[in-house]
A = this chain, B = another copy of it.
Amino acid sequence: MDTDSVPIAQPVSRLIEELHKLPGIGPKSAQRLAYYLLRIPEEQARALAEAILAVKEKVILCSICHNFTEADPCSICRDQGRDRSRICVVEKPLDLLAVERTRKYNGLYHVLHGVLSPMDGVGPEDLKIKGLLERLKDGPVKEVIVATNPNLEGEATAMYLGRLIAPLGVRVTRLARGLPFGSDLEYADELTMARALEGRHEI
């Protein structure tokens, strides 16, 4: 930020700094957002601040699937109408939403909160893998759909999970490569995602 030398009210420069920390918000965008927040009515700005505080206070991880939730277990894990013989494993909560939006999947989920990435020092113990294996023991689960991203880390994580889970007698499948390699699951459109679900195959 080159605002140090410029007469700018301290709370404003602090807000610009905090906004600049957000992903995808550069210094100019941070300035614009800060001045936007200064301009709007106080109750509108307060609504945003309170929404930020509320997610930190009220939202927890489901102790079963590790998705974000207000109540534990989450609404999906509690839903008796769900097909309990399938678990779809995703990297992050936004990927779960992408699968849900297809309305073609009625099973359960498991959120890893990351993928294996030796370069970034992320190993199996950093992911929610232990809990996944426990869910498969003596349970009704017949299939695990590994829906990690179709890129290097995602594939490696899928291979790793496949080797761990196959000996348990559970079918392990992977989303079909309807998804273009190197892309991000989060941005897939509903049709592509639905086709990828239908065409899933054994690892």
Contact = CB atoms under 8 A, between A and B. Distances in A.
Interface stretch (A54-62, A116-124, A125-133, A165-173): A54-62
A11 B48 contact: no
Chain multiplicity (copies): 2
Contacts of A74: 7, 9
Given A35-B92, A55-B12, A48 B18 contact: yes
Contact of A2 (B18, B48, B93, B101): B101
Q: Is the interface of A mostly helix, strand, loop or mixed?
A: helix
Interface residues of A, number: 60
A11 B46 contact: no
A58 to B, nearest CB: 5
Interface in A38-73: 38, 42, 44-56, 58-59, 68-70
Given A9-B55, A17-B51, 4 more contacts: A9-B58, A14-B54, A28-B187, A52-B52
